[in-house]
Chains A and B, each alone.
Chain A
Amino acid sequence: MNKQRFALVGNPNSGKTTLFNALTGSNQFIGNWPGVTVEKKSGHLIGHPEVEILDLPGLYSLAANSLEEIIASKELTQNPPDAIINIVDGTNLERNLYMTTQLFDLGIPLILVINMADELRQEGISIDADKLSERIGYPVVAISALKGENIDKLTEHLLSPEITQNHPLKTDYGADIEAVIAQASGIIKPSFPESQLRYWSFRSLEPGFKQNLDQAQQLELQLLQEDYESSHDGDDLESTIAGLRYDKIDQLVSGTIHGSRKGELSFSDRVDQIVTNRWLALPIFVLVMVIVYGISITTLGTYLTDWTNEVLFGEIVPGFVSSLLEKMSVAEWLQSLILDGIVAGVGAVLGFVPQMLVLFFMLAFLEASGYMARIAFIMDRAFRKWGLSGKSFIPLLVGSGCSVPGIMASRTIEEESDRRMTVILTSFIPCGAKLPVIALFAGAIAGDALWVAPAAYFLGIAAVILSGLILKKTPRFKGEPSPFVMELPPYRLPGLKTVLRSTWERGWSFIKKAGTIILLSSIVIWALLRFGIENGSLATVEVLENSFMARLGSLISWMFRPLGWDSWQAAVATITGLVAKENVVNTFGILFGYAEVSESGTEIWANVAQHFGVLGGFSFLIFNLLCIPCFAAIGAIKREMNNAGWTWFALIYQSVFAYAVSFVFYQISNWALTQQFGFITILAILVVLGTIYFLVRPEKQKEVRNPHRNGVRA
């Protein structure tokens, strides 16, 4: 049999992913669409490697200009599949069929799959698939993707030769509009393939449509629209066409749906009377977050992570590997590379995985059950002011445990600019590994005062808000604001398989995409600490002062002089903090002559106080709390940005921001305490003024649109 390609197309929440999993099983390939973070999945039909199925992003329409819609439209027109598998949610048939009418225009063979047959049955509704099939001229199959019902029947259709030969439905939207379409088609004819002319004729009537067209064509199309609208009482063409599509759908489905939907409130509506209730919504939200955080970060997640880090990669694996290496009498430095560099590095990557899997499992459950969309509804107002989404709450919350799963949790945010913003800001919230550093400095320079830890969280939250306000006005984030109109999907009990698969996919993508950077940087840091010039020759060093790391520290320490700390020791501690933030405490321990110190470094409090002084100590703490996170989190940023430019932007912004805050803190408080006013104080004041300017400067509006203006168009 010849190779065949099918594209799976459907609305969000139509059960598309579940169907894709049911059709392809484990024969899946996951990647990204070129240049964007939108996931691209394809797979082979179970038992039929010659049949490829491409899973397109979930969409409501092919023409609303979101990133996903552009991808789908491009794929379907530039690389047309042999047939489209169009899945629709039978419980919301009319709305789901809207995109189907656009698919008709493409003229590609199609099979219509009506999902949720089990739910319909429960509601006492049946859809006459044969009658609908007769009307639209395409095969129609009613299935339940979740229960696996009729998947075999669908597979049979996919394997039959007729599937790629069915005739596209010639939709007729009435003489009025068909005349306009014929004219549009005449205008764009030279610019598009003949077979797709109908699809592109509709698309070309979207205001501002430019693709493939020269200015003369665009002008003609604009005149065509204006002509229509002036002769139709100002009714806009776009709304008219959308209305006609819905009329067409009503015609197609009338008499095919038997049994009526109960007039009473649906199950979801009743749940939402409580869950998104004006007074109960926030307490319930807090409760859900406490459960998610409690399980993934404080209890089960921590237990698994500690076990992986301390037992598996702290004792079992190193013990096994070192006895193996000794038996093979491997050179000592190589043993160290393998044990302290590679094994520890791999451990650093994998140590996060169990905790992440627990979190991802719960997030997948929240998403598939429908509650995640409610979170966006409940929290939208609070977060959008800072350029974030309501869903950004979860990454920030999880980030207070560990930035790595926090950053990875941003995957649930659909809007790309909100997601990028969240990825940049998540690591400002102090994670668990920063707590020992906070405790060290609270003990050393603040008399172990209780306010230091809350102040660190406050600093993190302030950094998120301030950065959100500043960044959302920068050209990188401005762009056209995307409309926030979303669906609250019905509550559904998610299928275990779907949830587990999503959990594993996210965990695996972390290991694959973030693993290399973590491993490589751990090895580099290991080498810098281990090697140096001792007694005039290159050697593995006994004392840290002789290592290349110490040299590197001396080399860069001048940069931190304006922050009030410029010793090579402080620079080295900052660098080793990039492997894991708690390393800052250990590094100071070693530098001050202790082989090992307690978690909060009680032994070295006096040394640290003497070394930094109060202001320098706070400045160092501020810088280390806000600057770029550990390599694991950088790996997660790289994975989620999926773009070198954005990754660098995030890291540079975090460094500059941390530097500026520490600088201002140190210089201004130094001025306040010592009354010494100099050029550098002026610089600090300028930074403050500059930040205030960035905060209050008005957002430039591209064009002020007045919604209350009737009829007349600009």
Chain B
Amino acid sequence: MKSLDQISPGSTVEIVKIHGEGSLRRRILALGVIPGSSLQVVKVAPLGDPIEVKLNQSNLVIRRSEAQFIEVSGGDHE
């Protein structure tokens, strides 16, 4: 299984599943990160974390520790 934190910048991936429960998953879903939709990893912050992703019209920032709950397919491994 591949998770979002392992994807290198510039790649576009499809979201397979949001793992974990509770407020994190609910927040991610509300922002439009839905299984089946695709997003692009834009860049990594200068200090190596968090990462920025682009999804439709939104630019979102997510920490690696939380990105690992997002299972994805496609895209290049880091």
Contacts and interface: CB of A to CB of B under 8 A. Distances in A.
B28 to A, nearest CB: 6
B21 A708 contact: no
B59 A380 contact: no
B74 interface: no
Q: Which of B23, B37, B56 has the most CB of A within 10 A?
A: B23
Interface string B24-51: 1111111110111100001111111110
A487 B59 contact: yes
- Residue of A206, A239, A373 with highest tally of chain B CB at under 10 A: A239
Given A61-B30, A239-B35, A243-B34, A378 B47 contact: yes
Contacts, number: 147
A379 B62 CA distance: 13
Nearest to B17: A239
A235 B27 CA distance: 18
Nearest to A710: B1
A487 B57 contact: no
Contacts of B58: 92, 95, 487
Q: Which has the most chain B C-beta neighbours within 10 Å: A65, A66, A485, A707?
A: A485
B47 A486 contact: no
Contacts of A332: none
Contacts of B60: 485-488
A476 interface: no
Nearest to B26: A64
Interface stretch (A277-285, A288-296, A624-632): A277-285
Interface in A667-713: 705, 707-710, 713
A330 interface: no
B49 A380 contact: yes
B23 A482 contact: yes
A487 B61 contact: yes
B46 A485 contact: no
B31 A378 contact: no
Contact of A484 (B17, B31, B54, B63): B63
A487 B27 CA distance: 11
A651 B45 CA distance: 35
Contacts of B34: 239, 242-243, 246
A287 interface: no
A60 B48 CA distance: 27
A488 B52 contact: yes
A279 to B, nearest CB: 7
A378 B22 contact: no
Contacts of A65: 22-23, 26
A709 B66 CA distance: 15
A71 interface: no
Contacts of A380: 45, 47, 49-50, 61, 63
B61 A64 contact: no
Interface in A53-110: 60-61, 63-66, 91-95, 98-99
Nearest to A98: B30
A47 interface: no
Contact of B21 (A63, A92, A207): A207
B18 interface: yes
B20 interface: yes
A206 B48 CA distance: 33
B46 A278 contact: yes
Nearest to B66: A483
B17 to A, nearest CB: 7
A377 interface: yes
A279 B46 CA distance: 7
Contacts of B42: 269
Contacts of B56: 92, 94-95
B12 interface: no
Nearest to B30: A61
Nearest to B29: A242
Interface in A203-223: 206-208
A93 B46 CA distance: 30
Nearest to A709: B19
Contact of A485 (B19, B36, B47, B61): B61
Interface string A455-494: 0000000000000000000000000101111111010000
Nearest to B36: A243
A243 B58 CA distance: 17
Interface in A90-137: 91-95, 98-99
A343 B68 CA distance: 59
Interface in A221-244: 235-236, 238-239, 242-243
B46 to A, nearest CB: 4
A268 interface: yes
A51 B50 CA distance: 44
Interface in A321-343: none
A250 to B, nearest CB: 11
A95 B55 CA distance: 10
Nearest to A486: B61
12 contacts: A95-B32, A235-B35, A239-B35, A380-B49, A380-B61, A381-B47, A480-B23, A484-B66, A485-B31, A487-B60, A708-B68, A710-B1
Given A236-B18, A242-B34, A707-B20, 16 more contacts: A63-B26, A66-B27, A91-B57, A95-B31, A208-B22, A239-B18, A239-B29, A243-B34, A276-B45, A278-B44, A379-B47, A381-B50, A480-B23, A482-B23, A483-B66, A485-B28
Sort A-B residue pairs by CB-CB distance and give the 10 closest, nearest first.
A61-B30, A242-B29, A483-B24, A381-B47, A92-B57, A488-B59, A64-B26, A65-B23, A281-B46, A707-B69
